[in-house]
Structure 1
Amino acid sequence: MLPPLRALVVFEAVARLRSVSLAAKELNVTQAAISQQLKQLESFLDTQLLERGRSGMTLTHAGQKYHPVVSYTLGQLKKKTQSLFGEEKSEVLRMRVNNSLAQQWLLPRLKSFYRQYPFIRIDIDTVDWPSRNPCDTVDVEITNGRYGGSDIQTERLFNEQWHLVCSPKYYEKHKEKLVRFELNDLDAIQVKGYEDDWYSWLHFHGLTSAPPRVILEVNNSLQAMQAAKHDIGLLMVRSLVAMDMLEKGELVIAMPGEMPEERGHYLITQSKRPPKVQLFCDWLYAQMSHSKPDLEVMLQH
């Protein structure tokens, strides 16, 4: 009889770490999912493997005998996988990622990917705009724009919102005008390619004020947020890339309200995904589901 592989991975992590919560963190799943997998394995084997005590999880006699077998087997499977599908064939996952999304969202989370798939090495090129031929020389593309094609699979990743932000110092200096929605006398930072978004913002919120004076244009949102952080002016930015700086207090919401982002970030792959690409996509979906609470908290502020 062959036990479910996922349950074995969960058992190995809990037995090694002696903690459901630590195992959940390492495998990037919920504690409830960990408990469910353990119950599934114990039911399959009709044997109790773990006991919960004051000092954490402890192995039963059967668990002590089974853990080294599982640990060794998974280790051998990992080594053989790397040997058969190593760097020459499939270890390197080549990606093209939007610069701001990579810096503000993807890179801070990659450590958990390497914990799960240490035999995959990621090679990232950052870009400001979508390529004309996505996935021509890369396996995965995550860019701000959609692309259609018979051999390409495209999925929108996030439902983002536009927010008007500035530095705390800039807000305090111009608070009265911001409260009265008087933008025409204020300075602004703009990302190239989004010139019409100021008028969209004003129209969406039913404001008659003229847009602020754009005194600085930059290539991407990351540069724009750094400029806003240093008190240069107002900035329209999407919730996902601004979340970290808003939570740290480096930027604040300049005016209440938000505007849905119609374009958004898209995941682009070949229609037929190789195993290494599918592993990354599955990990990415899990990360997205964990980001939703963070976004909701940020939007409340």
Structure 2
Amino acid sequence: MTETNAASTYRLPPLAWLRAFEATARHSSFTKAAAELNLTQAAVSHQVRSLERHLGFLLFERLPRSLKLTEIGAAYLPPVRRSFEDLASATDGLFGPVGNRTLTLRAPTSFVALWLAPRLKRFTERFPDISIRVASVVWAQTHYEEPVDVDLRYGDGNWPGYAVECLMTSDAIAVCRADALEQGEDDNRLVRLTARRPLIHVTGYEDMWQRLAGSLGIALPRLSGVNVDTTMAALELATAGVGPAIVQQDFAAPYLARGQLVKALDSTLPLKEAHYLVTPEGRQRTTAEATVFIAWLRTEVAGPH
């Protein structure tokens, strides 16, 4: 996308107009904003009026001796301010002076071990001045007092009090060792697979085998087996030959690539759960390190690598 097309697509006003608006709103004065921006009062007033014409709305009420944000101006100010803060953080993180900086990441154990670990070297090589502290967790619902720079959770995205951004989705697949692989069509393979060996269940998602069977038109009763609390444990048990497991396809990829496991069925199971970036509502600013790390995460998810 060219610069012209991007500006047209996003209907972005010039940055100088936005700076004039933000400074004027903060000071409630064209004169004080002009002093901060090293411009004349007339220049700042002209930029704000140009922004208002561009948007088609008045952002300020011009009172006899002061300025007051209009209702739509007050609504526009927070996202403008956040955008400047995010831009400043990203600029500082990418181009600022090198120093000893630390990023604290909280993420599910399986995500850290199975998805992040094979990729993290690329981040540390690109940003060697950023140290990373990882706090692995099992349950997204657990309450943690310690603040973190980047909070990544797996679930349905419904966490009251938090703003969420879906980072990564993945279908689920059934996996097993090659010596346990059944032949034939998926429905027959599933029946034979589940009949002769214990199944591995991930706690909280024990209905996965029934859901997969239902997608194939099979009514599968709830079967006993081995329950574990992480996908990582499920994959290790499947590799040890305990039984087949249903896991996220992205997490199973390293095991499939190494030949430790194979896909037990051709079918996949879409999941409503996903990995989300989670931010407490009302948090004013994201650290420069977090801005850089999140941008890198999005690039890695977009892949391929």
TM norm structure 2 = 0.61
Per the alignment, residue 200 of structure 1 pairs with 211
Whether the aligned pair in 2 keeps the contact of 1:218 and 1:224 (CA below 8 Å) is yes
Per the alignment, residue 268 of structure 2 pairs with 258
Alignment of 1:134-283 (within 5 A): 136-145=146-155, 146-150=157-161, 152-171=162-181, 174-175=182-183, 180=188, 181-182=190-191, 183-210=194-221, 213-270=223-280, 272-283=285-296
User: CA separation in 2, counterparts of 1:107 and 1:186?
Assistant: 31
Deviations 1:246-265 (A, max 9, x none): 11111111112011111111
Distance 1:177 1:185, change over 3 A: farther
Q: CA deviation at 1:222?
A: 0.5
Per the alignment, residue 18 of structure 1 pairs with none
Whether the aligned pair in 1 keeps the contact of 2:199 and 2:245 (CA below 8 Å) is yes
Match of residue 98, structure 2, among 74, 79, 82: 82
Distance 1:274 1:121, change over 3 A: same
SS at match of 1:244: helix
Per the alignment, residue 89 of structure 2 pairs with none
Deviations 1:93-149 (A, max 9, x none): 111111111111112211111222222111001111114446852111222122434
User: CA separation in 1, counterparts of 2:145 and 2:303?
Assistant: 27
TM norm structure 1 = 0.62
Per the alignment, residue 285 of structure 1 pairs with 298
Higher Rg: 2
Whether the aligned pair in 1 keeps the contact of 2:210 and 2:220 (CA below 8 Å) is no
Per the alignment, residue 119 of structure 2 pairs with 109
User: CA separation in 1, counterparts of 2:122 and 2:185?
Assistant: 44
Q: CA deviation at 1:159?
A: 2.4
Higher relative contact order (CA closer than 8 Å, sequence separation 6+): 2
User: CA separation in 1, counterparts of 2:292 and 2:230?
Assistant: 29
User: CA separation in 2, counterparts of 1:281 and 1:78?
Assistant: 12
Whether the aligned pair in 1 keeps the contact of 2:151 and 2:278 (CA below 8 Å) is yes
Whether the aligned pair in 2 keeps the contact of 1:163 and 1:259 (CA below 8 Å) is yes
User: CA separation in 2, counterparts of 1:177 and 1:153?
Assistant: 43
Q: Give the gaps of 5 or more residues in structure 2.
A: 1-92
SS at match of 1:260: coil
SS at match of 2:209: helix
Aligned Cα root-mean-square deviation (Å): 2.6
SS at match of 1:144: strand
